[in-house]
Structure 1
């Protein structure tokens, strides 16, 4: 049974299934009572519910370290997510060239073919399950072809399962599985194979990357590439089926430039990450001690009424829209251009062949807990073929 707001505030736990349904409501209540509540879960942590507090922490990498970015701990490296300056900058220098929009556009036709193939698999049925039939095949196929340059579908399929488990429960087993998959992916890489090939030849201060560094980067690519885009695509599909104004918006060729940001704000892709205080400090009136853990609750910050008018509504002409779905500061999402390109292509290919989307009558919509907070992990829709 879902806990009430009051029950959640008495013992907040960002991974608890019985808190998921009213967690954002509890964060809203906390802003006016105790803006930085403390959780006793997972060793204890402060929960940041206000936009300004989240922004302050993300902008101060010296005081708030990313060395352990998961509330439950990560038993393997997840580079560059778990690095601080100056090392973080060196890793991003290696990766950034492969994630610019200009670089990624060279793969546009391949992305369209992946989306086209996925749509063809259910087009004659008049219905589909968004996650399994479309979001996962498209996001996993994109990562395999564009980032990993592999045809090993079994490798990527196993990555999908492990990435979901890491997002939902952050278990050590899931991260160890991803690290094992990283070993396999690197073993297949050739020097001219894009980002993986670059890891084989990259240098930092004249030295080669260690195997731990290479595996850490590839593990991060699995995490970022297999669960986040899937979550956004599924969330948008839900609104497509429940709001008549969404389909015309998604048919605009440039919707990904502005309207996408409102989808991202309302249902923030990565709900929270962790930071660790490196010194005694104060944050929003709350004392923070050296070693204290903080949950940077992006999803709550993106619904802070002090920063966003009518924060619990989709308002497509919201301007400006400084949401935190891609993070802030030095850890702003490496793959944000890849995500925008994927989402634009996915819905363009889907809407070119289908229209009039509706929720399938009687179908349940189970939703995730954890990092992909409230994203459906099963969503059955009907449609008309165009």
Structure 2
């Protein structure tokens, strides 16, 4: 029995599945309003086939599951498979809220805490909806504008070159640890104003946060408080001694016409810390893995580096890697199913960008594909604020890797290992080349 499959709702079936795969989260009962045909047993954190090769697993699922399905894993939630469903939900924040835990619930949790307990931060602007969302996003727009990000390009290129030259004589490397992680992490820490010497500590905290589910509000709150605590001294120091970094810039901003408070800074920092120290490295891993198995594409891009920008877009489309959560605000009929208020929905963007109704031959990497308009960075009001930086980092990495390393390939003795969750990517990616 596979760990994730569509089947009628029977409790004994779920129990049998659990004996087969101990790592899969415990199933919860199916709500009465969910029809049997809309159920598909899939654990986005632990499904074995998904962790073996996430995008292959998605392509296998595409012909078997509805455009919108319900899974009993991780507390029970909806997954949006189709491009149309993801696009529509992403652009409807009134129904599909980014406020995952309702404010009334957060206030109740805070009121129940003992005196002196730490405040629970809220990642903004990603966890608030319009119009308040815009008030928090505006101060970040300039810092992450195309012009501001282009100013960083030379520094990004120099760091990429340094990391690649370091591994070049070895003839092999675990790419994620040696290049994909330190490149965007160091770039972000410099932008943000956090000390580079603590990057290992920061990354460990991010991994702990992202490896857990989001169906326990108290556990979520505990992890967010930990993230805030690790940055607090730096944040407070920048208020007294501003520098040329994002933390200092945010202290000088206004939120809805009011000066930035320490609560605002904690909210900002939680989001930027988690997003900036994890997301892009996963895209790098997917893209380089593809280049390592598609030697014809490697050769073509080496001969014509001007094609790398287009190649990077198709890699983003083919290997989209983020799965943002949403909360349903009201009972809602959506793509043939009934969603109930406060149910959780996952925007399964990797599946959206592999939808055959949107992309002809979605499994095929096609550098000449006419439609490369992916939603890897999301769409609607919450479209990724760091997309300009991500594109520059990805393109520069591919340029420097192809210019400095000879033809590289996967190490057949060390299979690629992946993680699931809200950001999907390789944990280990071993490459070989002739040194």
Same-fold status (TM-score > 0.5): yes
Partners of 1:66 and 1:274 within 8 A in 2: yes
In structure 1, what is the equivalent of residue 294 of structure 2? Answer: 243
Specify which of 317, 321, 335 is matched with residue 284 of structure 1: 335
Specify which of 335, 350, 354 is matched with residue 303 of structure 1: 354
Q: Per the alignment, in what secondary structure is the counterpart of residue 173 of structure 2?
A: strand
Q: Per the alignment, in what secondary structure is the counterpart of residue 116 of structure 1?
A: helix
Partners of 1:30 and 1:36 within 8 A in 2: no
Partners of 2:308 and 2:398 within 8 A in 1: no
Please show how residues 1-386 of structure 1 align to structure 2 within 5 Å: 3=3, 5-6=5-6, 10-18=40-48, 20=50, 21=52, 23-25=57-59, 27-31=61-65, 34-68=66-100, 76-145=121-190, 147-150=191-194, 152-170=195-213, 172=220, 174-189=223-238, 190-251=241-302, 252-270=304-322, 272-373=323-424, 375-385=425-435
CA distance in 2, matches of 1:182, 1:224: 15
Deviation at 1:240, TM superposition (A): 1.6
Larger CA deviation: 55-64 vs 186-195: 186-195
CA distance in 1, matches of 2:67, 2:299: 39
Deviation at 1:256, TM superposition (A): 5.0
Deviation at 1:334, TM superposition (A): 0.4
Distance of aligned partners of 1:229 and 1:184 in 2 relative to their CA distance in 1, 3 Å threshold = farther
Q: Per the alignment, in what secondary structure is the counterpart of residue 276 of structure 1?
A: strand
CA distance in 1, matches of 2:360, 2:233: 47
Partners of 2:164 and 2:405 within 8 A in 1: no
CA distance in 2, matches of 1:69, 1:358: 44
CA distance in 2, matches of 1:184, 1:156: 16
Partners of 2:80 and 2:86 within 8 A in 1: yes
CA distance in 1, matches of 2:83, 2:384: 18
Q: Per the alignment, in what secondary structure is the counterpart of residue 250 of structure 2?
A: helix
CA distance in 2, matches of 1:96, 1:229: 19
Query: Which portions of structure 1, spanning 4 or more consecutive aligned residues, are displaced by more than 6 angstroms?
Result: none
Distance of aligned partners of 1:257 and 1:280 in 2 relative to their CA distance in 1, 3 Å threshold = same
Larger CA deviation: 251-260 vs 333-342: 251-260
Which ranges of structure 2 fall in alignment gaps of 5 or more residues? Answer: 8-16, 18-38, 107-119, 214-218
How well do the aligned residues superpose, as a CA RMSD in angstroms?
2.5
CA distance in 2, matches of 1:188, 1:148: 13
CA distance in 1, matches of 2:340, 2:154: 51
CA distance in 1, matches of 2:40, 2:403: 49
Task: Give a deviation string over 1:114-157, Cα, whole Å, max 9, x none.
Answer: 21221232122121110111111111111122x2234x223322
CA distance in 1, matches of 2:146, 2:306: 15
Larger CA deviation: 53-62 vs 241-250: 241-250
CA distance in 2, matches of 1:230, 1:263: 14
Q: Per the alignment, in what secondary structure is the counterpart of residue 128 of structure 1?
A: strand
Task: Give a deviation string over 1:241-261, Cα, whole Å, max 9, x none.
Answer: 111122235444444532212
Aligned residues between the structures = 377
Task: Give a deviation string over 1:67-111, Cα, whole Å, max 9, x none.
Answer: 0189xx996411111010111111111001011121122222221
Q: Per the alignment, in what secondary structure is the counterpart of residue 376 of structure 1?
A: strand
TM-score, with structure 2 as normaliser: 0.80
Task: Give a deviation string over 1:284-320, Cα, whole Å, max 9, x none.
Answer: 1111222222111111111111111111221122222
* Higher alpha-carbon Rg: 2
Larger CA deviation: 199-208 vs 165-174: 165-174
